[in-house]
Structure 1
Amino acid sequence: MKKSLLAFAVLAAFAGTTAAQTNVSIYGVADAGITRFDNGATTTTRIDSGIQSGSRIGFRGTEDLGGGLSAIFTLENGFNIDDGTLGQGGRLFGRQAFVGLSSNTVGAIKFGRQYNPIRSAIEGVDPFALGLAGRADNVFNVFGDRTDNTINFTTANFGGFTGQVAYSLGEVAGSNSIGRSFGLSAGYAAGPLSVIVAHHDQNLAAAGVATGDSKATLLGGTFDFGVAKLHAAYARNKGQTAAGVTNIDRDDILLGVSAPVGGNGRILASWIRRSDDIGANRDADQIALGYTHDLSKRTNLYTSYGRTRNESAATLGGASAAGRDPSVFNVGVRHRF
């Protein structure tokens, strides 16, 4: 009995020491609402999950290793709150899953499933922050949001300057290039001004066979006047098949505004234009208007409307056929914990 009590005391002391050195937090988002989607031919009304922000539960931890160095990890499970199923194709941690080291003076290096630098850049300049009906990735290419098998280095903040470099391994036997991707970004933020440039290069593959290459370079920024914030972005996209034939050649541009209203509200608006040079009548425009209202620091209501006008050969916005003009309206509630 005495040995058992002694062993329990030692275990408790060890657990207490570990808890003192390691900080682990649980966080998440529960987001759901009603969506009315018109694909240009038929209309569907449904309950959707993650309209403003993807519903998730996450685990984030740090351990102080001394000398300004810390071990870090993040595991995020995405789920569909409308029916309780797993998101991201049923993955257990389909959003982010990485482990790494962080230095206060240098930055952080992380290994695992992570956001692309160009995706993070677009989120930062989009007034809708890649959510609601006006989300910029309806037009801009974010290359799948997150990439597997990624090594990411993010710098510390040096007087407002930050940067990211990411490399994702294709992991195809006998080839270091098939399926691999490379991305980087550099940004500056101080006072009301924020500017960022980002680039992504993706080697496309199917069943372990190279199918081509896709690239995008983005320049974006915001300027906060207090009464309103202006948002702007431009992206140049190029791509080719495995045989070297150009199959992507387009420009995307975003102009937007966000403005506080009445203390707890915010109005969001944007116009996005795609100019496609691959063929005739492939251009498209998206216009969107939204409103969010804070009920507390963690809970808000939202509503938004977006419409895409496609030229006769364009199919953006989930159009049922080329040349049709889809629209979406949603209203819902988001709670962050």
Structure 2
Amino acid sequence: MVALPVYAQSGVTLYGILDEALQFNTNSQNVVHGRNVGGRQWNLNSLSGPSGSRWGMRGAEELGSGLSAVFTLESGINLNSGAFGQGGTAFGRQAFVGLRSREAGSVFMGRQYDSINDYVARLSFTLSGYGGIDHPGDLDNMGHQSHINNTIKYVSPNLRGLTFGGTLSAGGVAGSIAQNSGFSVGARYAQGPLKLGVAYEIYRNPSNIGAALNSNANAVSPTSTSIFESLNSGYLTGANPATTWQVGAVGGTYDFGAATLGLVWSNVRYGNIGRYNGATATFNDMEVHGIYRFGPALSAALDYNYLKGNAVSGDIGDQTYHQAIFRGS
């Protein structure tokens, strides 16, 4: 008898997307000496298009018995300056390592997307492959502008169309297990023309440096940061910002053949805002979109989004946004 050596198979893949656009804005802001002198603006934009520019590498090493060691490193790239995306963060989109099992599922550790992205956002217009617009301020992270540090993720195998999983994020703060920490859970069902998704997450001290909403290389103290949108900056900056950020979302699409109809709803809460006597700022977002394919190379898509925020204190809050987009390709 002769014993032959067996070598595990492995591979590394380099990949990327270059997405460039000429953008015209009719009312850009440019504050000089406390006065807005802005107006019309032309510029190039390679980060906020249908597929933000990026490059990355992923690898897998077969360990036997259906088990593989895997990793992903992915960085956003600003083509117009050569700088990293995600606030100058190297590998700011994803950076993780883990184990994948065909029968038991997968476990990953590192900087990753949350369950909102994994189970619901892929059913929204922006991430459905047609591109589009984020929900206002990306409050619900459907556009995955926020990437979560120090995260352990579990993803189940596909069980007759059902997948589920969740994440657990360590806060990394000495002397406090809870501060900056959080978790997310979600599930998705896809069978035939129907796809459904649901997810929930909560993160503590979300605007702290390194926390869920302030995790890029340009992160600064919430007492001075200006990186948040006008919709939520009043709840996340300055003294005594919100101590929790919660998102619940459901979504679904149905394929009628040449046409696809989608519906997504999310509820966002910034809780225990100290400057407003512990009040909670609540937002409800509703999206409906449709795509019609005239042929393999021609399609049209329409998306409408409505966002309503509650009144928090006096003239703070009570916001309403309407967005619509039409795309032909």
Change (3 A) 1:167 1:118: same
State yes or no: 1:159 paired with 2:160.
Answer: yes
State yes or no: 1:49 paired with 2:50.
Answer: no
SS at match of 2:81: coil
**For residues 215-265 of structure 1, what are the alpha-carbon distances to aligned partners after superposition, in whole Å with 9 as ceiling and x for unaligned?**
111010100001210110111222213547223112111111112133212
Q: 2:298 aligns with which of 265, 278, 301?
A: 265
**For residues 28-55 of structure 1, what are the alpha-carbon distances to aligned partners after superposition, in whole Å with 9 as ceiling and x for unaligned?**
1111111112337722111110311121
Change (3 A) 1:261 1:44: farther
Contact 1:122 1:136 in 2 (8 A): no
Contact 1:269 1:290 in 2 (8 A): yes
SS at match of 1:118: helix
SS at match of 2:116: helix
Q: 1:25 aligns with which of 5, 8, 13?
A: 13
Q: Which residue of 2 aligns with 1:111?
A: 109
SS at match of 2:311: coil
**For residues 257-315 of structure 1, what are the alpha-carbon distances to aligned partners after superposition, in whole Å with 9 as ceiling and x for unaligned?**
112133212322111111212257511111111123xxxxxxxxxxxxxxxxxxxxxxx
Contact 1:119 1:145 in 2 (8 A): no
**Distance apart, 1:100 and its partner CA:** 0.3
**Distance apart, 1:127 and its partner CA:** 2.1
Distance 2:139 2:289 in 1: 14
Contact 2:125 2:132 in 1 (8 A): no
Contact 2:123 2:264 in 1 (8 A): yes
**For residues 163-184 of structure 1, what are the alpha-carbon distances to aligned partners after superposition, in whole Å with 9 as ceiling and x for unaligned?**
1210111111110111112111
The 5 Å alignment of 1:190-209 reads 190-204=191-205, 205-206=207-208
TM-score by length of 1: 0.76
Q: Which residue of 2 aligns with 1:146?
A: 147
Contact 2:196 2:251 in 1 (8 A): yes
Distance 2:150 2:159 in 1: 28
**Distance apart, 1:137 and its partner CA:** 5.9
Higher RCO (C-alpha under 8 Å, 6+ residues apart): 1
Distance 2:9 2:290 in 1: 44
TM-score by length of 2: 0.77
RMSD value, Cα: 2.4
Change (3 A) 1:150 1:24: same
SS at match of 2:106: strand
Contact 1:197 1:220 in 2 (8 A): yes
Distance 1:138 1:38 in 2: 19
**Distance apart, 1:103 and its partner CA:** 0.3
**Distance apart, 1:91 and its partner CA:** 2.1
Which stretch of the first structure deviates more once superposed, 56-65 or 237-246?
A: 237-246
SS at match of 1:206: coil
Contact 1:128 1:268 in 2 (8 A): no
SS at match of 2:118: helix
Q: Which residue of 2 aligns with 1:311?
A: none
**Distance apart, 1:115 and its partner CA:** 0.6
State yes or no: 1:79 paired with 2:72.
Answer: no
Report the structure, 1 or 2, having the larger helix content. Answer: 1
Contact 1:139 1:252 in 2 (8 A): no
- Count of matched residue positions in the alignment of Structure 1 and Structure 2: 276
Q: Which residue of 1 aligns with 2:64?
A: 66
Report the structure, 1 or 2, having the larger strand content. Answer: 1
Which stretch of the first structure deviates more once superposed, 214-223 or 239-248?
A: 239-248
Q: Which residue of 1 aligns with 2:263?
A: 232
Opposite residue 154 of structure 2, the aligned amino acid is F
Q: Which residue of 2 aligns with 1:325?
A: none
**Distance apart, 1:145 and its partner CA:** 3.2
Contact 1:269 1:289 in 2 (8 A): yes
Distance 2:158 2:189 in 1: 9
Q: 1:101 aligns with which of 99, 108, 122?
A: 99
Q: Which runs of 5+ in 2 are unaligned?
A: 1-5, 29-37, 210-220, 222-239
